[in-house]
Structure 1
């Protein structure tokens, strides 16, 4: 078998098998990292989502900066007054397979800073040029409870007045003239509660998906190419050994020249047909 593997063509096969193993090992590693990311996200959500709410000032000290990774989905509460004139519609937001608007309203706090509140989702109006009707937020002082989410990326789109392409807090701050904290609240409840409000967001998805199973499948595939090459090389070596052994027996019978008296002449051994394989046809 090793004499077969030393041939240039089979060395190329071995190189391809090793390359295949490297690729599948890295694909398995990528799926494993995706699985670990999903596990970390699930653990973070489960740790923060149902925890007792804390004052927003304990997490966000003031404007500027970013929401720490460990405080995402942190359940907080804040008290202030809604700046209804600064209400904005965030376009192209899906909810249960339907697209509409997220309604964001700044909540002005006692220290003069403001916290962006995502009050929920409303369906698109029948006409694209028309904004949908939105239930009014509570007037006067209100205490909101919800989950902290980081500012979204600025999509760089020019939008009509009072509309946003994403919940981009710096852009909302520029449009409203308010000093906004660097994260927004995904609203859970308001006190006093209004008669109606936009539809609440669905709980976050904490399913892990199939990344772990895919990683195992890729890693089990790593040695397949090498095994195939070794099995084929072994079979080629065995076939060549049988053919060379048959030729040696045939030449010995012819070279003896004499047949013992009274003995039947030896019948020539039928030559075993050579097996033709795909790789032999390719070389022909």
Structure 2
């Protein structure tokens, strides 16, 4: 009764279902892998946030880079802000409101500089650079956490009229008059305090995210495709065993056919 499944049509259907189920299963495991990465990231962040700030020279010795292991390290640094090299990161939002982040290099005693994201302010997203509050003058001590360079390139990290779309010490180090420490710092506190403070970067979300439920959804789709294949096969086998009669005749042997209400043609 199921020999029809050896036909070209049903073999093609089976191959499609196998590929679809395999793809959905793979996507489910991919989401679980993303969940593991997120949990590992949460552990690293929690560990860093539970320790005291480390001096930037200790956290970032010459030649070192910010990676997934030391990102979010709480650091402190003392230096002088260089307002002439200050930039704004345009097209940023907080709770749906448009605004900019303000990035100011902090020149260290060594002569190198550290990019400091001093915070966010609400403003209209326009091409023209907005006016932003000035940082403290003179020697300043800052505290914050290390962040990796943004992976964007090209015009996104190249300053234009004092604005950028993403922060990269690699790109900005080519246009600024000093060497830059790798990455940048999200400012959380500074002494002395500025006359007008910007909104500090909020702590990162440490939840699990939707990855687990996305994985369940993909695996459900894989199961649905497999079950659907056998359901359609069973339905066709049943139809072949008891074909639907279009002429009104009964399927049971020996039973008289129903009389037609239409006249018999001459």
Contact 2:89 2:101 (C-alpha < 8 Å) held by counterparts: yes
Q: Which residue of 1 aligns with 2:186?
A: 186
Q: What is the aligned partner in structure 1 of residue 118 from structure 2?
A: 119
Equivalent position of 2:40 in the other structure: 40
| 1:204 aligned counterpart, secondary structure | coil
The answer for the alignment partner of 1:214 in structure 2 is 214
May I ask how many residue pairs the two structures share in their alignment? 248
**Who is 2:101 aligned against?**
102
Measured after TM superposition, the shift of residue 189 of structure 1 is 0.3
Q: Measured at CA, do residues 125 and 24 of structure 1 come closer, stay the same or move farther in structure 2, by a change above 3 Å?
A: closer
TM-score (norm. length: structure 2)? 0.79
User: 1:50 touches 1:75 (CA, 8 Å); kept in 2?
Assistant: no
CA contact (8 A) 1:155 1:165 kept: no
Instruction: Provide, for residues 200-230 of structure 1, a one-character-per-residue CA deviation record: whole Å limited to 9, x for no partner.
Output: 1222223322221121222133243333333
CA-CA distance at 1:236 after TM superposition = 4.4
Q: Per-residue displacement from partner, 1:103-149 (whole Å, max 9, x unpaired)? A: 111112122211111111123369853522x3322222221100101
1:274 is aligned to none
Look up the match of 1:14.
14
- Residue of structure 1 equivalent to 2:141: 143
Change in 2 beyond 3 A, CA 1:127/1:156: closer
- 1:1-284 map, 5 Å: 1-62=1-62, 64=63, 66-124=65-123, 129=128, 131-132=130-131, 134-152=132-150, 153-156=152-155, 159-237=159-237, 240=240, 268-269=254-255
Change (3 A) 1:83 1:47: same
CA separation of 1:222 and 1:140: change in aligned 2, threshold 3 A: same
TM-score (normalizing by structure 1): 0.75
69-78 or 7-16, which deviates more:
7-16
- Alpha-carbon deviation of 1:231? 3.7
Q: Say if 1:197 and 1:210 are closer, same or farther in 2 by CA, change over 3 A.
A: same
What's the CA shift string for 1:219-269, capped at 9, x where partnerless?
1332433333334434544565578xxxxx96xxxxxxxxxxxxxxxxx34
Unaligned runs of 5+ in 2: 244-251, 258-266
Contact 1:77 1:146 in 2 (8 A): yes
Q: Which of the two has higher C-alpha Rg?
A: 1
Greater helix proportion: 1
Q: CA deviation at 1:175?
A: 3.4
Aligned-residue RMSD, C-alpha: 2.9
